[in-house]
Amino acid sequence: MAGIAKDQKEATAGDEPPQPRSVRVVILALMIAMLLAMLDNMIVGTAMPTIVGELGGLEHLSWVVTAYTLATAASTPIWGKLGDMYGRKGTFLTSIVIFLIGSVLSGMAQDMGQLIGFRAIQGLGAGGLMVGVMAIIGDLVPPRERGKYQGMMAAVMAVAMIGGPLAGGTITDHLGWRWSFYINLPLGAVALAMVTAVLHLPKKERTKARIDYLGAALLTVGITSIVLVTTWGGTEYAWDSAVIMELIAIGVAALTGFFFVETKAAEPIMPLHIFRSRNFTLMSVIGFLAGFVMFGAVLFLPLFQQSVQGASATNSGLLLLPMLLSMLVVSMFAGRVTTSTGKYRLFPIIGAALMTAGLFLLSTMDTETSRLTSGLFMAVLGAGMGFLMQITMLVAQNSVELKDMGVASSGATLFRTLGSSFGVAIMGALFTGRVQDEMAARGGAGITQRSAQLDAASLAKLPDPVREAYEFAVASGTHAAFLLGAAVAVIGFVAAFFVKEVPLRGAGPKEAAADDESAGQSVDKVAETV
């Protein structure tokens, strides 16, 4: 690791040599795999009403999403560790195959129970997709040069969020809901073929240490309990119900046991020493908060524009365009600046500040707010997310040794996933409670007894006074949810001030050569032309 330390000391700004063409081909293959994971949920979400209509089982509908989320979150750290121990290419290809098998089986499901089980298989594969992409990029490209590819990652996210609902509606209407799953096969086949052909990583010696099965089991139980608490709390069960209390107790006990086991394991599933790095710990916290805010915004912004501003549900992805475009442009800018200067500490601070400001502005929206105004507010939030989304992973990976790249990537991904789970649950509970209170105060409680969210068709059938009361209630609920998001973002703003400016590995031609000799990170060694 002496070469890495030398790289960090010698990191200076300078002209970067062009990346080999083969690296760009590999990155393209990885982006296709990343799109595979992101696009799936967006497409399936649009198809769910049709799926329920054919398979029935409306009472189990939430499990179609929950099973996928649980499997993804629980398997994420395990995939990261397996990649560190046995090699990333084989582990990544395995995760793609499992995801595709789950997709085929989901498309063939004959009842809701089968669909839930097959979605869990799909989620197991998805857990390895995102971690594999991030960890392989961490192997291929030194942190100093990684900013060049931030725009590609942000673009994939934008394509998934905008194109997913539109593609889901089109596929369901013309090909049937089963093709919402089968559509993954051509994308997955392309990703498999490209990764197999052009990705060449240094051979990794097979470790003799045993897999930390006990740690993996305890972490899985702990994560599952957390996700179920955030998913069921306030919806399926009251927050103070016996089920929720038991899940909290199980989760606390499992995670406590996990931390104890990790201090004794020969090859811990998530080495606790990575948290000794202040930057890694801070990036985990900021990533959690960014996930909390972003997925809450993605949930409530289309709802506000559909319910209050009268937008069509069909174009719900397009409603997020100002936020996503802003995020894309800013992410590209931040990546280029990071690559050319090696400086990044200011970006989390600016990002958290803009995120806080954007959420506060969104909390001021009411029934009179125009789409232009809400679009400008979304652009501010998107700019904040653009400064944060990729920088958090970059700094987290730069904070650990190369042998821990997988667990660092999976750890950062896991914290962001858990943040999104908490964000949707807590902001959703606050939103629902406020809407129901406002409707009760205006004599319209009956329409929100089962749900605080009405679709456009149901809303149009309401009498004018009731519809106006509901629009006011939704605006009030949105205000409360985004105000909470702004308060959470302030924590991220404070945390960002404690980030240290640690030089990024791979700072230029001289340092890249040193990296090649001492750490085996040269792009020419880890990615070869076919």
Note whether 214 and 126 are within 8 A (CB).
no
With cut-offs at 50, 70 and 90, classify the pLDDT of residue 172: confident
pLDDT on residue 14: 36
pLDDT on residue 4: 37
Rounded CA gap, 321 and 298, in Å? Answer: 11
**Burial bucket for residue 39 (CB in 10 Å: 0-12, 13-18, 19+):** buried
Rounded CA gap, 292 and 106, in Å? Answer: 29
DSSP summary character for residue 211: P
**Which of helix, strand or coil describes residue 74?**
helix
pLDDT on residue 270: 81
Specify the higher pLDDT residue, 314 or 239.
239
Rounded CA gap, 198 and 508, in Å? Answer: 25
- Look at the domain 277-499 and name its fold: Growth Hormone; Chain: A; (1.20.1250)
Least confident of 44-58, 399-413, 476-490: 44-58
Q: Is the pLDDT of residue 217 over 80?
A: yes
Q: Which tokens sit at 376?
A: 């400008």
Rounded CA gap, 401 and 5, in Å? Answer: 10
**Which of helix, strand or coil describes residue 88?**
helix
**Burial bucket for residue 460 (CB in 10 Å: 0-12, 13-18, 19+):** exposed
Note whether 295 and 423 are within 8 A (CB).
yes
Note whether 287 and 415 are within 8 A (CB).
yes
Q: Is the pLDDT of residue 508 over 90?
A: no
The amino acid occupying position 163 is G
Q: Is the pLDDT of residue 3 over 60?
A: no
Q: Which tokens sit at 32?
A: 């296709």
- How far is the CA of 78 from the CAs of 269, 316, 408, 409, in angstroms? 6, 34, 12, 11
Note whether 17 and 509 are within 8 A (CB).
yes
Which CATH number fits the domain 19-202, given the four candidates 3.40.47.10, 1.20.1250.20, 3.30.70.1350, 3.30.200.20? 1.20.1250.20
Rounded CA gap, 326 and 284, in Å? Answer: 24
Give me the long-range contacts of 205-208 (CB less than 8 A, separation at least 24).
Answer: 206/85, 206/86, 207/85, 207/86, 207/267
Specify the higher pLDDT residue, 50 or 203.
50
How many other CB atoms sit within 10 Å of the CB of residue 173?
A: 12
Q: Tens of pLDDT along 424-437?
A: 778 877 887 787 77
Specify the higher pLDDT residue, 355 or 393.
355
Q: Is the pLDDT of residue 253 over 90?
A: yes
Specify the higher pLDDT residue, 442 or 9.
442
Q: Tens of pLDDT along 361-379?
A: 998 888 788 888 888 998 9
| Over residues 17-39, mean pLDDT | 71
- How far is the CA of 238 from the CAs of 233, 299, 423, 440, in angstroms? 6, 22, 18, 19
Cα dihedral across residues 249, 254, 258, 260: positive or negative: positive
Q: Is the pLDDT of residue 248 over 70?
A: yes
**Which of helix, strand or coil describes residue 506?**
coil
Note whether 83 and 92 are within 8 A (CB).
yes
pTM score, whole prediction: 0.76
With cut-offs at 50, 70 and 90, classify the pLDDT of residue 128: confident
| Over residues 181-188, mean pLDDT | 87
Contacts of 63 (CB under 8 A, 6+ apart): 112, 116
Note whether 147 and 331 are within 8 A (CB).
no
| Over residues 131-142, mean pLDDT | 80
